[in-house]
Amino acid sequence: MTSLLAAVAAALAMLMTAATAGTFFGFSVGVMPGLGAVPASSAVDVMNAINARIQGLLLRAPAPYGERSLTAGDTGGLSVRTLS
């Protein structure tokens, strides 16, 4: 039973690591060259708009147990903290 739980935890950790790496790679290949192609003042405005949009989407996402904070340390420990 313990080895099964360890295998599931390891597989989940690998999956989450791959998803995070893919997100960073996609951002660096897709967004950063576009920001580099525009003047600095425009790039700052665009990045602020992207951040506002992302934060707005995260705050509107349904969370069955209230707002949750999921960090890299939490996924390693397979735990989720509820913000108060």
Q: Helix (H, G, I), strand (E, B), or coil: what is residue 45?
A: helix
User: Which residues have a Cβ under 8 Å from the Cβ of 83 and sit 6 or more positions away?
Assistant: 66, 67, 68, 69
Query: Considering its fold, how many domains does the chain have in total?
Result: 1
Q: Is 10 helix (H, G, I), strand (E, B) or coil?
A: helix
Structural domain including 66 reads 2-82
Question: What string of pLDDT tens digits covers the 84 residues of the chain?
Answer: 788 999 999 999 999 999 999 988 988 898 888 888 889 888 888 888 887 877 766 555 555 544 455 545 545 544 444 444
Residue 59 near residue 40, CB atoms below 8 Å:
no
Instruction: Tell if the pTM clears 0.85, that is, is over it.
Output: no
How much is the pLDDT for 32?
Answer: 86
CA 70/CA 21 separation, integer angstroms: 16
